Amino acid sequence: DTEVTQTPKHLVMGMTNKKSLKCEQHMGHRAMYWYKQKAKKPPELMFVYSYEKLSINESVPSRFSPECPNSSLLNLHLHALQPEDSALYLCASSQIGNQPQHFGDGTRLSIL
């Protein structure tokens, strides 16, 4: 089992809905990440938080809004998504510096 917990595991939403994805870790990691993974493709980095501050935004559309309320939690707020946003959304965490990332199971998102 992974030590990075993501909820929900599956989410189906309409293009006008507002929903949030949640990620939690209790490993004391101070860096947290959101990735998007389309079918049969590698994960693509979306956002990085270091010490609860947004440090990297890979030119992600504003309909995706990340939030890091504390060092253990990472949210991804979704609004007015498009069908092409359907994907597996992965959360990861790591220690700051030269350390590997630990991944959650992901949230499989479907936009109707």
Partner 1 sequence: AQSVSQHNHHVILSEAASLELGCNYSYGGTVNLFWYVQYPGQHLQLLLKYFSGDPLVKGIKGFEAEFIKSKFSFNLRKPSVQWSDTAEYFCAVSRTYNTDKLIFGTGTRLQVFP
Min dist CB 17 to partner 1, Å, is: 26
Nearer to partner 1, 9 or 18 (CB): 9
**What is the binding site for partner 1 (CB under 8 A)?**
2, 4, 31, 33, 40-45, 48, 50, 55-56, 90, 92, 94, 97-106
User: What is the closest distance, in whole angstroms, from the C-beta atom of residue 54 to partner 1 in the complex?
Assistant: 12
In 3D space, the residue among 45, 3, 1 whose CA is nearest the CA of residue 26 turns out to be 3
Pairing of strands 10-13, 107-111: parallel
Distance CA 59, CA 40 (A): 22
